[in-house]
Amino acid sequence: MAIIGKNIDKAIEVLNSGEVIGLPTETVYGLAGNAYNTEAVTKIFSVKNRPNFDPLIVHTSSIERINEFVTEIPEMALKLANKFMPGPLTLLLPKKENISDLVTSGLPTVAVRIPNHPLAIELLEGINFPLAAPSANPFGYISPTTAQHVDNQLGTKIQYILDGGECNVGIESSIVGFFENEVVVLRKGGLAIEEIEAIVGPIKINEHSSSNPQAPGMLKSHYAPRTPLSFWGEKSFSIKDFSNTGFLAFRDYNHVIPKENQLVLSEKGDLNEAAKNLFAYMRLLDSKGFSEIFTELLPEIGLGRAINDRIKRATTQE
């Protein structure tokens, strides 16, 4: 298993040697390596078992430093960056040559993010290269929100996990691109659409499509637990015995399923709290050995939209 600790010098030493580490951020934990080092980037793909056509997000510590590896920051992008970085926002910007095609899967844009986490920022300030980092889960599984989650799944493949505690936001960053002066959300995430629109006006939401070349990673069966997950409804009506059935609820318990088989995302109905709990609760239910898990959708406002997106992807069975 990997060493889990808060030693920034150790994390830097591992990164300098071309290896990858577990990186805490406010959204989810990342699997980070030197974005300028092809060997390190290759390692990220192999540790995650991630296909090469799914590009990585590049993390740095300040807006000034973004200019080290992008050719320009369009006006709308700069407005968003000034308002929400550091934070759960990823911007797609035209890349410089120092970002390899491996990082962007051949795309001319690079995804850029400044994590809002004190340990991540301290680490990024201590190195002279940005960090390429996808979420630190095996490809297709639920993203990790604690160092322990990372260790459970990738611990045998990496040396060090920087422990920044439980992620405050709990779902991945919102990804925003700029196409012919149009602002487009390619992944709903930890920054609510309403907040983005308050700065740049009405935006387009590029609804998921598994063949969408603009967001090659937005595959249908993402974030999926191992136990079959489906929506409470038709299928559940034919079940007579719910003793081995789990339930992931928004604010109220399901009346038919045993209470001890259920987890409630936020009893107060707070969408931010629900986001923070979402992946950890999915994991917990997945570990119980239930024959199936049911769930429900949340209100389509604020982070509810990103949560519903993740739940829908997790329930997709093909």
Contact residues for ligand TXA, defined by CB under 6 A:
25, 27-28, 30, 54-57, 90, 92, 104, 107, 109-111, 113, 133-135, 172-173, 175, 186, 214-218
Smallest distance, Mg ion to C-beta of residue 272, A: 20
The sheet with strand 160-162 has its strands ordered as 3-5, 160-162, 21-23, 30-34, 131-132, 57-59, 109-113, 89-94, 174-179, 182-187, 204-205
Structure-token pair, residue 154: 């990738």
CA torsion 305→306→311→314, rounded to 10°?
140
Task: Please enumerate in sequence order all residues whose Cβ is within 8 A of that of 307, keeping only pairs 6 or more positions apart, or say none.
Answer: 171, 265, 271, 274, 275, 278, 298
Six token digits for residue 204: 């387009």
Output 191 or 229, the one with its CB closest to ligand TXA: 191
- Residue 266 as a binder of Mg ion (CB under 5 A): the answer is no
Which entry of Mg ion, ligand TXA, none binds 61, CB below 5 to 8 A by partner kind? none
Identify what 304 binds: Mg ion, ligand TXA, none; CB under 5 to 8 Å per kind: none
Which residue from 23, 22, 19 is spatially nearest to 1, judged by alpha carbons? 22
Least Å distance, CB 76 to Mg ion, is: 25
Q: How far apart are CA 180 and CA 246, in angstroms?
A: 46
Residues ≥6 apart with Cβ < 8 Å to 17: none
Whether 135 contacts 28, CB under 8 Å: yes
Residue 158 interaction partner, one of ligand TXA, Mg ion, none, beta carbon < 5-8 Å per kind: none
Instruction: Quote the least distance from Cβ 132 to ligand TXA, whole Å.
Output: 9
219 binds, among Mg ion, ligand TXA, none (CB under 5 to 8 A by kind): none
The option from Mg ion, ligand TXA, none interacting with 175 (CB < 5 to 8 A, set by class) reads ligand TXA
Please work out the total of residues on this chain that contact Mg ion, with binding judged by CB under 5 A: 1
Between 66 and 249, CB nearer to ligand TXA? 66
Comparing CB distances to Mg ion, the nearer of 32 and 76 is 32
Judged by beta carbon distances under 5 to 8 A according to partner kind, the member of ligand TXA, Mg ion, none in contact with residue 109 is ligand TXA
Choose between 135 and 174: whose C-beta lies nearer to Mg ion. Answer: 135
Query: Closer CB to ligand TXA, residue 191 or residue 264?
Result: 191
Q: How far is the CB of 125 from ligand TXA (least distance, A)?
A: 17
Q: Which C-beta is closer to ligand TXA: that of 178 or that of 242?
A: 178
Q: How far is the CB of 8 from ligand TXA (least distance, A)?
A: 17
Query: Applying CB under 5 A, does 90 fall inside the site for Mg ion?
Result: no
**H helix intervals, the chain:** 8-16, 38-48, 63-66, 75-84, 101-104, 118-125, 147-154, 193-200, 234-237, 271-286, 304-315
CA distances from 309 to 229, 297, 301, 316 (A): 14, 9, 12, 11
d(CA 298, CA 154): 31
Instruction: Give residue number: closest CB to ligand TXA.
Output: 217
Per CB under 5 A, 27 contacts Mg ion: no
Q: How far is CA 270 from CA 138, 251, 298, in A?
A: 29, 9, 10
Residue partners of 165: CB distance under 8 A and separation at least 6: 24, 146, 147
Report in angstroms how near the CB of residue 143 gets to ligand TXA at its nearest: 7
Q: Which is nearer to ligand TXA, 167 or 229 (CB)?
A: 167
Q: Residue 109 interacts with Mg ion (CB under 5 A)?
A: no
* Residues 113-152 close enough to bind Mg ion by CB under 5 A: 135
List residues near Mg ion by CB under 5 A: 135
